[in-house]
Amino acid sequence: MFGWEFPPHIAGGLGTACYGMTRGLARNGVEVVFVMPRAYGDEDQRFVRVVNASDVETIGTRDHEFSEELLEKVSFIHIDSNMLPYISPEEYAAYHDEFVRSGRTHEWTDVWKQRYTFSGKYGANLMEEVARYAMVAAQVAKDLEGQFDVIHAHDWLTYFAGIAAKRVSGKPLVVHMHATEFDRSGENINRRVYAIEKAGMQAADRVIAVSELTRRIVIGKYGIPAEKVVTVHNAVRFGESEDAVPERAVKDKVVTFLGRITYQKGPDYFVEAAAKVLQRVPDVRFVNHVVRRVAQLGIADRFHFTGFLKGGEVQRMFRLSDVYVMPSVSEPFGISPLEAMRSGVPVIISRQSGVAEVLDYAIKVNYWDVDALADAIYGLLTYPALGRMFASKGLEEVTGLKWTNAAAKIKTVYETVVAEANN
């Protein structure tokens, strides 16, 4: 399995999904070797073996077929971090400058032996890391020859790695589409990323989509045959201990948005709805980090700007909240509402999200309808019985959405492609 991140070092939902999925696969009797660009040594390896690509020494020749083809097709360019803005270009530049000062190099010789150091993050030189990661993936497939039956690659960052491993080993490839370039960028897509996504799905024996919404995009926008695309909805973990609700520093109601500040996640609509709610219920506080528009609306004293939250901080925030809102413009799935519901918090989600396909006890609104969003927030805050009903029924509903069940469906996909490969 090739992924770009794994807890506790994550930047978004992809790492969380990979963690829950590998635990679920282990419970279904599937042994997983998880390869990531940079491992830190503190990953939970009770259910999975983690391989640090930065520790893998690649050995090959100048005329290695896949390496040559990859270098011809991939331009090593600096790209705008808005494509996947988990870190800034400045942060990546600092890493890259240190790498250059160290005297290490990626120069080719007729026979090369190279160990690449990856940042494992998302930044200005991301395309080069994606290509180098594919080189390492080929070496990992050689090193593990005879020890695996199927290859699983998560999102476009690892698709070249999956293709490389398939070419070296001949094993079937499953690619997982957690978010398409159309989700991230609307119709103004990055053509290079789109090309990688399409190449990965064309080379794959099966494509797993996280929702029917994503499956329709894969079929319609990328031209992938419908029979090749399988939907497996994400799930939520219930393993963590549920501590008592932390004491609040304020008596006001708390409405929370947690997500990257990108157009895709809909933070602007959250802020506009908040302004409408505050006209009717002044004793409400909103948790978000869209600063400028909040200041323009004159509601800064009602907002708390958290910055990036992770691990226990996220769970603590959920347990401090009265309502959780996910107003995404285009959300392939969306695990955070499940996590909020697990904490007994009523949720409001956009109809334009994959998670809307599996939830009945969440209030669903169109992302652009800030009046409906404001009304939903107002209703949950003003009528306690309504909030309690959505919280209790939501907890019952989300209890059935376990990774063990999702992983069983993924295992079936594995068994199918392996059987086809052996026929």
The model's pTM? 0.82
Residue 381 has pLDDT above 70, yes or no: yes
What are phi and psi for residue 220, nearest 5 degrees?
-80, -40
Contacts of 43 (CB under 8 A, 6+ apart): 6, 7, 8, 9, 50
pLDDT-derived band at 154, boundaries 50, 70, 90: very high
The DSSP secondary structure of 195-246, one letter per residue, reads HHHHHHHHH-SEEEESSHHHHHHHHHHH---GGGEEE--------S--PPPP
Residue 73 has pLDDT above 50, yes or no: no
- pLDDT tens digit string along 12-53? 788 889 999 999 999 999 999 999 988 888 999 999 999 988
Lowest mean pLDDT, pick from 129-133, 265-269, 368-372, 400-404:
129-133
Residue 400 has pLDDT above 60, yes or no: yes
Burial label, 108 (beta-carbon count in 10 A; 0-12, 13-18, 19+): middle
Mean pLDDT of the chain: 84
The answer to whether residues 303 and 252 touch, using CB atoms and an 8 Å cutoff, is no
Residue 380: per-residue pLDDT: 97
The answer to whether residues 387 and 419 touch, using CB atoms and an 8 Å cutoff, is no
Question: To 10 degrees, what angle do helices 159-169 and 126-143 make?
Answer: 30
181-195 mean pLDDT: 89
- pLDDT tens digit string along 275-311? 999 999 999 998 865 777 888 888 988 988 887 787 7
What are phi and psi for residue 377, nearest 5 degrees?
-60, -45
Q: Which residues pair with 270 in a beta bridge?
A: none
